[in-house]
Structure 1
Amino acid sequence: MSVTREVITEQLNRLEREEEIRILYACESGSRAWGFPSQDSDYDVRFVYIRPADWYLSIHDRRDVIERPISDKLDICGWDLRKTLNLYRKSNPPLLEWLQSPIRYAESGGTAQELRAISPLAFSPKSCMYHYLSMARGNFRMYLQGERVRIKKYFYVLRPVLACEWIQRHGVMPPMEFDVLAEALIPRDTELWRVIQELLARKKAGDELDYEPQLKTINAFLEERLSALEAASAAQPAAGGKLDDRLDAMFREALREAWL
């Protein structure tokens, strides 16, 4: 199946009918939203949905995730709004990324926009730095050791490292796009910038980036920054004000907007 925006919209509309839900927000996550897709990269569609009010009035815990692997190229996954708001109040980094994705497929009602507007109140520098550091350390340890490495994995370490750098400097959620992070945080007149840009051009052109000799310039940078950021993350502040009442009100308003 050829994946286009029309195909994605059709699949989201079908989910609304089959699951009896309203999709409040849908976006692209992963390498396409980060700005370094290969020609054969998957489409990772993520969405937030709400069910009718009676669904929530139950003594039973019910599944609050919808997952549909439509094809080898298209993966669609959504979270119920109540789950979403509970994760939001904990400064969940993937959710905060979804809300600022540069590729949006659907948005209805005011929920997503309000969540963006109050995100500084929910954002926790400490928990988000821990999240990105864990991602970077895991990929660095698994894929980028030895003389020959999984070279495309450099982006899956560089991006979270730069996200940590952004949080440390600015104290806010980092931009989703790799290019924005790199241009702001890596000096252009350096060997590191040149090596990264050459690798990025190859990836976007569809070159097969499998096992190749280690890029020592990038490895040296990553080793130094991972060590420094480890110490910096512990000093970051936690989230700010309490949002429970505001999120409760948002949930009720979303129910009214979607179904009344």
Structure 2
Amino acid sequence: MTLALGSALDTDLTDLSAVVAEQPDPLLFATVSGAHLYGFPSHDSDVDLRGAHLLPLEALIGLREPEETRGRMWDRDGVEMDLVTHDLRKFARLMLRRNGYVLEQLTSPLVVRTTETHAELCALVPEVLTHHHAHHYRGFAGTQWRLFEKSGELKPLLYTYRALLTGIHLMRSGEVRAHLPTLVEEVSEAPRRLPDLVAAKAAAEHGRAEVAFEDVRAEVEALHGVLDEAQAASELPEAVRAHDALHDLVVRARAGASG
């Protein structure tokens, strides 16, 4: 699979395997998130790598604080790379908190590294989804809209649309879909201007949004209403159902690595 890093650079995802090999503890999975996953990278977009690592047992039972979250940023051929991973136990806990962001990372089709544990985590995604995940996307859209109000930049406006459409699609289908061009095709209420905005974003990471403010505000408010209605009508359950299964998975993975 080839990851388009804007118009200036393409790289095969397997080229990033060296990054995986450099990590101090095994990576259970690593995927690409951010603008590349959302379908609107620009020529100067950074590459957001997200995943889960597996700490050894002694790191959790000793006196030192475990590195449950690790982050690294560096430049690769002029492209900023950003890697963030969580220990499996923390990642599982985030899955149980109705966190749509980690589910997008987990199910991203832009896979740098995968394992059997990654596959098991993906298989449990339907068991952690609830209609309360709409709150995550509603809140994220609100944060991005406020950024757009302050900056007038296209990027936070696209993030606003993307979050609302992901939430609507999730409430209706029970599927985590983060790719905006696909969402435009699958959500009938998606504003018609979005393909043009995606094309404009390809030209500059921090370009201004050439839109009428009142028009896009009306669209965003309408999508909030659609999300509210989709949540109210959703067949997704009230509570997560995967707690025991995730617990067993974490125990098995840790025991297997320590055996």
Give the shorter-chain TM-score range. Answer: 0.7 to 0.9
Bigger radius of gyration: 1
CA RMSD of aligned residues (A): 2.8
Residues 1-260 of structure 1 aligned to structure 2 (within 5 Å): 4=11, 5=13, 8-15=16-23, 19=24, 21-58=25-62, 61-71=65-75, 73-108=80-115, 110-126=116-132, 128-144=133-149, 149-170=152-173, 172-186=174-188, 192-193=191-192, 195-206=193-204, 209-210=207-208, 212-214=210-212, 216-230=214-228, 233=231, 237-241=237-241, 243-260=242-259
Structure 1 outlier segments of 4+, above 6 Å: none
Q: 1:249 to 1:208 in 2, by over 3 A?
A: closer
Which amino acid is the alignment partner of residue 222 of structure 1?
A: V
Identity %: 25
Letter in 2 for 1:246: A
Structure 1 contact 137–226 (Cα < 8 Å) conserved:
no
Structure 2 length as normaliser, TM-score?
A: 0.82
Q: Distance in 1 between matches of 2:189 and 2:55?
A: 48
How far did residue 177 of structure 1 move? 1.1
Distance of 1:36 and 1:114 partners within structure 2: 29
Distance in 2, Cα, partners of 1:223 & 1:99:
29
Quote the offset at 1:158 in angstroms: 0.5
TM-score (structure 1 length as normaliser)? 0.82
Distance 1:221 1:113, change over 3 A: same
- Counterpart of 1:8, as a letter, is L
Q: Structure 2 stretches of 5 or more lacking a match?
A: 1-8
Matching residue's letter, 2:212 = Q
Within 1, Cα distance between the matches of 2:32 and 2:56? 25
Q: Which runs of 5+ in 1 are unaligned?
A: none
- Name the CA shift for 1:229/1:116 in 2 (closer, same or farther; >3 Å): same
Give the Cα separation in 2 of the matches to 1:38 and 1:70: 18
Q: How many aligned residue pairs are there? A: 245
SS in 1 for 2:67: coil
